[in-house]
Amino acid sequence: MNGIDLRSDTVTRPTPEMRRAMYDAEVADGGLEGDPTTKKLEELAAERLGTEAALLVASGSMGNLVAALAHCAPGDAMIVGERSHMAWSADQGKGHSTYGRIGVRRLPENPDGKLGIEDIGLSMAAESEGESRVALVNMENTHNQSDGTPIDPAWTASFAEGVHDRGAVLHIDGARLFNAAVALDVPASALVADADSATFCLSKGLACPIGGIVAGSSDYIAEVHNRRKIVGGEMRQTGVISAAGIVALNSMVDRMADDHANARRLAEGLAQISGISIEPERVTTNILYFKLSDRTPEEVEQSLAEEGVHCFALDGRIRMVTHHHITPEDIETALGAVQRVMQSDAGAAHA
């Protein structure tokens, strides 16, 4: 798609270094002796997250699915935030109930994307009334629909303690985990140190063409590997994917600070445009949402597309996401387009 694409950080393309690494990658059958480049990626990912082991999967969604399947027995339940990506995928894909007969309980998050441990306890107490045992609690970091808010290690440690005290395990959907790490200026390992498992996407802010990682203990990852087979996720010469992931983990993390700075500048500029409601101080990573006073998000999305600026109308708001291919100059161009669209729409509304 031509123009300035702010729909998602999934629209990135491999860097020249990634393409060279993919071309030169040493490969073998991942379903037999194992792919050597993928093994290197998995070792690097485990090192970065401070876990015993890690496993390559086709996507973050697959990673979250097989992570839950490995934690839960048939008939168990899991808790998700009602605005989380895992709630959406559970609703749309039915993967957890279809593949694992896992019940999904949705609880409201706070505005910053955090679940309340008291709410968790009340939901788990329902087991005594004949409902399924809650085996797994999931949290999202960064939290997409809460303006990409990062959740800090201290809160996660306290939350994990509460989850464990209630007899469940904690999984972190870290699709943009490295965005959180950069925003909070902590290693990614600190964000998952108290969790029982975690996932992250290679194909979002890290700018890889495909892939995700599940991380945890060696025994747990062995079970995740089995679950990956069940859902059809066994792949062969995966080194051509993994080579890009190695480049990303070695060279694409620190530069996420540029994405965050671009998102904040975009938010500050949007706040100056009449008809837009946004809190720039909430924008600390690469995602922002804003509301409109007089126009529908769908109308503005279409008008901006005609200006060459692409975004998404989601949940009654407009979402924009910065990434590797968005420059400071693109931000200024996008702000100019938004200004023109809002002025034009305001004129049409009063005609």
Total domains in the chain come to 2
Q: Within this chain, do residues 121 and 178 fall inside the same structural domain, yes or no?
A: yes
- Angle CA 174–180–183, to nearest 5: 170
Residue at 69 is within a domain: yes
Q: Within this chain, do residues 203 and 277 fall inside the same structural domain, yes or no?
A: no
Q: Within this chain, do residues 173 and 267 fall inside the same structural domain, yes or no?
A: no
d(CA 148, CA 158): 21
* φ/ψ (deg, to 5) at 112: -90, 10
Residue at 3 is within a domain: no
Residue at 5 is within a domain: no
d(CA 311, CA 306): 11
Identify the pLDDT of residue 13.
Answer: 94
Render pLDDT for 234-253 as a digit per residue (tens, 0 to 9). 999 999 999 999 999 999 99
Residue at 1 is within a domain: no
Q: What is the pTM of this model?
A: 0.94
Residue at 269 is within a domain: yes
Identify the pLDDT of residue 347.
Answer: 52
Q: Within this chain, do residues 154 and 20 fall inside the same structural domain, yes or no?
A: yes
Q: Within this chain, do residues 214 and 105 fall inside the same structural domain, yes or no?
A: yes
DSSP H or E segment with residue 243: helix 239-251
Residue at 308 is within a domain: yes
Share of the chain residues as helix, strand and coil, in percent rounded to the nearest 5? 50, 15, 35
Q: Which residues contact 215 (CB under 8 A, 6 or more apart)?
A: 45, 46, 49, 51, 53, 54, 55, 192, 197, 198, 199, 200, 221
Q: Within this chain, do residues 205 and 63 fall inside the same structural domain, yes or no?
A: yes
- Give the closest residue to 201 by CA, choosing from 219, 214, 190: 214
Render pLDDT for 277-335 as a digit per residue (tens, 0 to 9). 999 999 999 999 999 998 999 999 999 999 999 999 998 999 999 999 999 999 999 99
Tokens 């590797």 identify what position? 324
Ranges in the chain, pLDDT < 70: 89-93, 126-130, 345-351
Q: Within this chain, do residues 297 and 323 fall inside the same structural domain, yes or no?
A: yes
CATH of the domain at 321: 3.90.1150.10
Count the Cβ atoms, other than its own, within 10 Å of residue 134: 25
Identify the pLDDT of residue 162.
Answer: 95
- Give the closest residue to 55 by CA, choosing from 68, 69, 64, 43: 43
Residue where a domain terminates, one of 190, 217, 251: 251
Residue at 235 is within a domain: yes
Residue at 7 is within a domain: no
* φ/ψ (deg, to 5) at 105: -105, 125
Q: Within this chain, do residues 291 and 161 fall inside the same structural domain, yes or no?
A: no
Q: Within this chain, do residues 245 and 277 fall inside the same structural domain, yes or no?
A: no
Residue where a domain terminates, one of 251, 274, 291: 251
Identify the pLDDT of residue 351.
Answer: 43
Q: Within this chain, do residues 23 and 143 fall inside the same structural domain, yes or no?
A: yes
For residues 198 and 205, the answer to whether their CB atoms sit within 8 Å is no
d(CA 275, CA 291): 8
Range of the domain at 261: 255-350
Residue where a domain terminates, one of 251, 272, 289: 251
Q: Within this chain, do residues 276 and 214 fall inside the same structural domain, yes or no?
A: no
Identify the pLDDT of residue 313.
Answer: 97
Q: Within this chain, do residues 243 and 290 fall inside the same structural domain, yes or no?
A: no
Identify the pLDDT of residue 33.
Answer: 87
d(CA 251, CA 261): 18
CATH of the domain at 45: 3.40.640.10
